[in-house]
Chain A
Amino acid sequence: MATARSAPSFLAPLRQAVAAPKASTSAEVVAGKRWASYKPVSASPKPYPFAPTALIPDVPASAIPPASAPLNLLGRINHTLLHGNASSQFLPLFARRSRTRVPASSVLAVTYYPVTGAGGARGPNTSTFSGVLIGVRRRGADVSFTLRNVLMKTGIEQTFSLGSGAIKEIKVLKRGEVKRAKLFWVRDDPKALQKMASGIAKGQR
Chain B
Amino acid sequence: MAPLLASSLLSSFLTPVLRRTLATAAASSSASPAAAAAAPSWTPQSRRTGLIARKQGMTNIWDENGVKVPVTVLQIQNCQVTAVKPPPSTSPWWAVQLGATDRKAKRVSAPMLGHFRAAGVEPKRKVVEFKVSADALVPVGTTLSAAHFVPGQFVDAIGTSVGKGYQGVMKRWNFRGLKASHGVSISHRSAGSTGGHQDPGRVFPGKKMAGRMGGERVTVQNLPVIRIDTASNVIFVKGAVPGSDDGFVLLRDAKKKLVTHSANRARRGEKALPRGVEDLPFPAATVEMAKDWPEVIQAPAQGKPV
Interface positions of A (Cβ within 8 A of B): 35-38, 41, 44, 46-57, 59, 73-74, 76-78, 81, 85-86, 117, 119-122, 140-142, 161, 163-166
Contacts and interface: CB of A to CB of B under 8 A. Distances in A.
Given A74-B73, A85-B62, 4 more contacts: A51-B299, A53-B300, A55-B298, A164-B66
B141 interface: no
Nearest to B149: A50
A54 B147 CA distance: 13
B245 to A, nearest CB: 8
Given A74-B57, A85-B62, A120-B303, A164 B298 contact: no
The 5 closest A-B CB pairs, nearest first, are A74-B57, A36-B62, A50-B150, A165-B66, A121-B306
A38 B294 CA distance: 13
Contact of A77 (B68, B73, B294, B300): B73
B241 interface: no
Interface string B130-166: 0000000000000000000011100000000000000
B64 A55 contact: yes
B279 A50 contact: yes
B67 A120 contact: yes
B60 interface: yes
Contacts of A117: 306
Contacts of B296: 56-57, 59
Contacts of B194: none
18 contacts: A36-B66, A46-B293, A48-B293, A48-B297, A50-B280, A50-B281, A52-B278, A54-B152, A54-B297, A54-B300, A55-B298, A56-B297, A73-B73, A77-B56, A81-B59, A81-B61, A120-B67, A163-B60
A121 B306 CA distance: 5
Contacts of B279: 49-50
B286 interface: no
A195 to B, nearest CB: 35
A38 B59 contact: no
Contacts of A85: 62
Contacts of A47: 293
Contacts of A38: 64, 298
A140 B60 contact: yes
Interface string B264-306: 0000000000001111110000000000111011111001101
B68 A44 contact: no
B277 to A, nearest CB: 6
Which bucket holds chain B's interface residue count?
Answer: 35 or more
B66 A50 contact: no
Interface string B46-88: 0000000000110111111111100001010000000000000
B277 A51 contact: yes
A104 to B, nearest CB: 23
Given A50-B277, A53-B300, A73-B73, A41 B294 contact: yes
A62 to B, nearest CB: 16
B106 to A, nearest CB: 25
A73 B66 contact: no
B268 to A, nearest CB: 22
Contacts of A81: 59-61
Contacts of A44: 294
Contact of A165 (B62, B280, B303): B62
B251 interface: no
A119 B303 contact: yes
Contact of B298 (A54, A140, A142, A161): A54
A48 B294 contact: yes
A91 B234 CA distance: 26
Nearest to B275: A53
- The CB with the most chain A CB atoms within 10 A, among B227, B279, B298, B303, is that of B298
A46 B276 contact: no
Contact of B276 (A53, A73, A121): A53
A69 to B, nearest CB: 14
Given A51-B277, A74-B73, A122-B306, A141 B64 contact: no
Contacts of A78: 59
Q: Which of A47, A78, A120 has the most CB of B within 10 A?
A: A120
